[in-house]
Amino acid sequence: MSNRGMLIVLSGPSGVGKGTVRKAIFEQDNNKFHYSVSMTTRQMRPGETNGKDYYFVSQDEFESEIAAGDMLEYARYVDNYYGTPLKYVNKMLEDGKDVFLEIEVNGAMQVRKKCPDGLFIFLTPPDLMELRHRIIERGTDDLATIDKRMHKAVGEIEMMQNYDYAVVNDEVPVAVEKIKTIIRAERWRVKRFLPNYKKQLGDVFK
Amino acid sequence: MSNRGMLIVLSGPSGVGKGTVRKAIFEQDNNKFHYSVSMTTRQMRPGETNGKDYYFVSQDEFESEIAAGDMLEYARYVDNYYGTPLKYVNKMLEDGKDVFLEIEVNGAMQVRKKCPDGLFIFLTPPDLMELRHRIIERGTDDLATIDKRMHKAVGEIEMMQNYDYAVVNDEVPVAVEKIKTIIRAERWRVKRFLPNYKKQLGDVFK
């Protein structure tokens, strides 16, 4: 009988580089996480693959999933839905696998309520001006969208206090190493460690 | 102006090897902790140095310190006092230095009450039989003392749930590496990170 896996949630403001950091973690040979691919109604960007970067679905399809209660979390963000289908996540956790979610902050708070024993990591920009710069450089959004995102980002940084850890994304390899250190350490947190330890001690402990 | 240092508390049952692990951490070149030497009334053992392993004092001297409110924590254990003098610890934390305490479990709980923002790590034996074996091998105590310690150890393992992290001391270098990983990760915990981060963002954040 395996122990239940750990749910790891990486979130942070739009444009902070969550996707880049997550990909860098998963490109390393020694990663042992299972990535839960999100579902979205936004347009596919150049270089993205359906079923790998996201499940790209229509608005009707997404709303059907919500209505059926099949989403662990979802958010409507810049006129598009983003969310995590529930069934794969639960199956992997029950099989003792660690599941890694990379999601928006609203979604992360929904997951926190449903899975309070998850590990919640907030990725944050070096400063807000740097965030603004990054969004502009990506060049896929108009200025009204950027301002909307900037305004949202200030509120999101206030939300940091709802997370367990915060990592500044100043350099991707550094952020990746910090996140991996956090996940390693978290395995020895008493709330995760004690149930298994008691089981190991068995009769001696009684 | 420096930020207040972090108080790191390593504790665990008697005989688990707290002293060995603490020494191994401090023997590494890259350790940045300041060790707070404990005070005790027990007999000095071969190889120990006064002011380095402990401050060895008389029972009268120790009780004067308690009466003066000058102990961060103390415990009477196997007919001897063990404790941490307050003044050095506070001075180092205020100077922004990280202070490392290696103390008994009763003392650790006193520190937890006084310093709830400390980092509390519980070192635990692979199993209780291994603990018993280690105590006997040390050969400094009679069997009645050992049984007293064994009984106490079972209760101490129950106390694990009052700590932030638990590390099994199966191999010293492995335990040392785990403890260093935990301390690294803990610097990015939101409760430690957010106050400094807000300061850095300054006006942009308002």
Segment A61-104, tens digit of pLDDT: 999 999 998 999 998 878 999 899 988 898 899 898 999 999 88
Mean pLDDT of B50-64: 94
Whether chain B has a CB inside 8 Å of the CB on A167: the answer is: yes
Q: How confident is the model at residue A149 (pLDDT cuts 50, 70, 90)?
A: low
Other beta carbons within 10 Å of B36: 21
Query: What fold characterizes domain A7-36+97-205?
Result: Rossmann fold (3.40.50)
Other beta carbons within 10 Å of B7: 22
Contacts of A166 in chain B (CB under 8 A): 188, 190, 193-194, 197
- Closest CA of chain A from B111, distance in Å: 18
Whether chain B has a CB inside 8 Å of the CB on A206: the answer is: no
The verdict on ipTM greater than 0.85 is no
Contacts of A200 in chain B (CB under 8 A): 127
Report the distance separating Cα B180 and Cα B174, nearest Å.
10
pLDDT at B205: 42
Which residue of chain B comes nearest to A183, CA vs CA? Answer: B185
A166:B197 CB<8 A: yes
- Closest CA of chain B from A127, distance in Å: 6
3-class secondary-structure state, position A190? helix
Convert the pLDDT of each residue in A128-142 to its tens digit: 666 666 666 766 667
Three-point CA angle B193, B195, B198, nearest 5°: 105
Q: Using CB atoms, pick whichever of A124, A186, A197 lies closest to residue B166.
A: A197
Please report, for chain A, the start and end positions of each structural domain, with discontinuous segments joined by +: 7-36+97-205
Report the distance separating Cα B91 and Cα A199, nearest Å.
42
What is the DSSP annotation of A70-136?
Answer: -EEEEEEETTEEEEEEHHHHHHHHHTT-EEEEE--HHHHHHHHHH-TTSEEEEEE-S-HHHHHHHHH
Closest CA to A6 of A163, A183, A164: A183
- Closest CA of chain A from B9, distance in Å: 14
Convert the pLDDT of each residue in A157-195 to its tens digit: 778 889 999 999 989 999 999 999 999 999 999 988 887
Category of B58 on φ-ψ map: left (φ > 0), alpha (ψ -120 to 50) or beta: beta
Confidence check: pLDDT of B2 > 60: no
